[in-house]
Every structure is written in structure tokens, then in C-alpha cells.
Structure 1
Amino acid sequence: MDDEQTLSGGNASGTVIRIGDTVRKQWAASTPSVHAFMSHVRARGVDVPTPRGQDERRRQRIEFVPGPVAVDVEPLTADGLRRVGAIVRAIHDASETFSPSADALWDTAIPAPGAEIICHNDLAPWNLVIGDRWVFIDWDAAAPSTRLWDLAYAAQTFTLSAVEVAPEVAAEGLRAFVDGYGASGELRTRLPAMMHRRAAAMLELLTTAHAHGREPWSSMFADGHGSHWSAVVGYVGTNQQTWYDALTALAPAEPDR
């Protein structure tokens, strides 16, 4: 067997090991449902790490996708943000045709406001590999949710996490991401408020977990995640009109040819 290499990151997923071209991590009660969902999305043409069942130590075996994650490289350009938005849309569209088994189990830390489709629930820069392939990893929190709730989190984490950036500049990135998703007019008008609500839900999880010593969220709160999300909630909430104006503005007309 190849040597085991412990991978960094994975705040909420426990120890993650690389062995050759596979990742190994804890097998949970929800894993069979998650793997079935991943396989379905992959079969619908979306590039997703291939689930490979269970190893001899009863751990998950998942394809290792080489490359850095987006949070560790330079901020994405507008074209890059449009590309990510399109990936999120493809995942959501593929989920529309997924029918979980009657005994499916899911495990996610933040309850969603609805159950339209199964969503990844952590489509964020720390879970996007951007090597030769652009692939979202760490699907363990997949669970019933809504397009809007999942999109709100993805759009915010990719474009509105750096609170030192001028809102007008951040709004340009937000518009590119949502354009890439191909969001409807209704989604665009509802997205600013939902991004604020989703960020507040993350802060509430961290704050409550810290108060009750519930791991891993308690340690994450103490390690700086609490202050980060508190700043994000303020930034996203204070600039609601800026986000709304950017998302609902008409696209510039094409020049005459």
C-alpha cells in the first residue's frame, strides 16, 4: 500500500488521508447517501470526485483530485467567477433528477429553509480544486436544501468574504458569479437578503457551538472563524442595496455590428 499522507484543511471532516490517487476519511451513517448523490451528479456530466466505496479500515475511498484549492491562490477573475457560478448551476440542475432512497440519511450542521433538491451545502473556495480540472470536493455535508440557500452561500463565500474590499468592487465579482450561474430575475432579487441570512446562520452555529463546547465548531470559533463571520455578516448586511443594484442592473447592450 502507498504511504499515507495527512492532508491539511478539512475543519469539520476530521482527519483526511491521501493514499496514492485516493482520499480516505471517516465513514459515516450518511456516507452511502452522499456517495449515491455524488455518483448521480457525476453521471449527469458534472466533474465530481469518484466515490470508490470503503477500504479495509472501513474508511471512505474517494478519488484524489490534484491541484490547489481556490482559497490558497490569487482571487479569481471575473471569468473565473463566472466559471464557478456555472459549475454550481450544473450541480443544482443535476440534482433535480436525483431521487434519494427511502432510507437515505444526511448530516449537515445548518438546517436549510426548504428541501427542493439535494445540495452540497459547502460550495466555497476552500472546497474548490482549481488545477487541470475545477472540481468541488468534500461532499459530506450534502443534504436537502434549496437552490437559493446553496447559491447564497456559494456566492457570498466566493465574492463577499474579503470585507476590506470596497463594496462596489466586490459587487462586480458577485454579478459575474451570479451571471455565470444564469440566475433568474427572482433569484437575483432575493439573493442579497438570503446571503445575509445564510452568513448569519453560519455565525450562529459557531457562536452557539462555542458557548456549549461543541466541536469542531467551538475550536473554529476560537481560532478566528467567529470574528471572520461576524465581520462578514456586518459587511453583507450593510451593503444590501449595493448587491441588489449590481444583480438587477440590465446588462450593457451589445454594440451594433
Structure 2
Amino acid sequence: MVEYVEGTLAMDQSPLGNDDLRRVGRMIREIHDASEATVIANPGGWKMLLPAENPDLMCHNDLAPWNLIMGERWVFIDWDGAGPSTRLWDLAYAAQSFGQLVHGQPVAEAAIRLGAFADGYAADDSLRKALPAAMAKRATAMFNLLKSSNETGFQPWAAMYLNGHGDHWRTAAEYVAHNQEAWAHALVQR
């Protein structure tokens, strides 16, 4: 622990409002932009749980409501999974989780949240076009990690699969993949 930061987890205030989502998007953009100056020695040599293709940026890899403290300061915590990735792969996970793109959420409302998040990030056209498919691929990868971990006994993921995370990520992956058109429409740059 480097320091204690007073506040509450963003997941306890979910879903976040559009202004808060834009703020989160800006924070993640600042992290990604600052990371561009970091030289990654042997990016393909890192053992990443969900590796990105052609990693070129040092990323958090778990930017989600369960890792954001909101208080006087907003701070991302839990950097133990940090490592080589890409802007798109890291952003896909964050957009899906902060936008609450999960089974049971009204698609129109989730799409508005996704748009606010991407606007805060100031995502360009190419990133916006790639994001829907990347979110589906990233959510599926998370489900596959949990499922294979359960089959092999790889902890803590095996226990998480049985404790509801497997069902959550299976239905999230299906929801994100099924609603690609809504996400693409919400991400059209305004």
C-alpha cells in the first residue's frame, strides 16, 4: 500500500451518471497518454492473464468500478495486473464495465452511458469503430479465463467462476455481442 485514499468504490454507486462517466473516461485517457512515455522491455515476454495482440502500452488491465475510489480525489487502485496491452483492449474492458453493459440493463440506457464514457475519453473515429467488437472479444476472453480456470483449478479464478463470476461474464459477453449495432450507433462521434 502506498497510501490510503478516503472514499467509496464506484461499484457502490453504479450505474454512474453521464458526467461521472465522462470524468472516468478522461482519467483513463490521462493514464493511457502518460503511459506512452513508458518503454516496455520485451512486451511479449510478460505473462498476462488476458494478453492483447501486439501490446504497445503499459496498462492497468482492470480499470473497472471495483477499482475506482471516488471521494475528494478519484483514484484507481489494484495495479497488480498492470502490464503490456493496448489502448483498445484496456479501454474495451473499462467501457463495458463502467457503462454497465451487462445482461438485464436496458440497451438504450447502456448505450447512452457508453457514449458518455467514450466522449470523456475523447476517443477518435477509429477507436470508436473498433470498440464494440473489442468489448465483445474482451468480455468473452474474461469468461473463457474463468471457465478454463475452473476446469484446471487455477485459483482464484476457478473459485470466482463458481461464485457467480462465470455466469456474470457469460451473460455479459452474450449481451455485448448481441447489441453491437446499438453500441456502434452510440459511439458515432458527435
Q: Which runs of 5+ in 1 are unaligned?
A: 1-22, 24-61, 252-257
How many pairs does the alignment contain?
A: 189
- Are the aligned partners of 1:160 and 1:232 in contact in 2 as well (CA < 8 Å)? no
What value does the CA root-mean-square deviation take over the aligned residues? Answer: 1.6
Superposition pairs for residues 24-35 of structure 1, below 5 Å?
none
Cα distance in structure 2, aligned partners of 1:102 and 1:167: 40
TM-score (norm 1): 0.70
Structure 1 position 125 matched with structure 2 position 65:
yes
Residue 107 of structure 1 contacts residue 141 of structure 1 at CA under 8 Å; is this kept in 2? no
Matched-pair contact (CA < 8 Å) for 1:196–1:236:
yes
1:112 lines up with 2:52 in the alignment: yes
Q: Which residue of 2 aligns with 1:245?
A: 185
**Higher mean displacement: 74-83 or 107-116:** 107-116
Contact 1:106 1:141 in 2 (8 A): no
Q: Which amino acid aligns with 1:245?
A: H
Task: Select 1:75's aligned residue among 9, 12, 15.
Answer: 15
Cα contact 1:120–1:139 (8 A) shared by 2: yes
- Among 69, 80, 95, the alignment partner of 1:140 is 80
Select 2:34's aligned residue among 75, 78, 94.
94
Shift of 1:114: 1.9
* Cα contact 1:65–1:129 (8 A) shared by 2: yes
More helix by share: 2
Matched residue SS, 1:189? helix
Q: Aligned equivalents of 1:74 and 1:206: distance in 2?
A: 24
Question: TM-score of the superposition, structure 2-length normalised?
Answer: 0.94
* Among candidates 140, 159, 171, match of residue 200 of structure 1: 140
Aligned match for 1:170, one of 110, 114, 121: 110
Where do 5+ consecutive residues of structure 2 fail to align? none
The answer (yes or no) to whether the contact 2:28–2:121 under 8 Å persists in 1 is yes
Q: Secondary structure at the match of 2:26?
A: helix
Higher normalized strand content (fraction of residues): 1
For residues 70-91 of structure 1, what are the alpha-carbon distances to aligned partners after superposition, in whole Å with 9 as ceiling and x for unaligned? Answer: 1112421100000000000000
**Bigger Rg over Cα:** 1
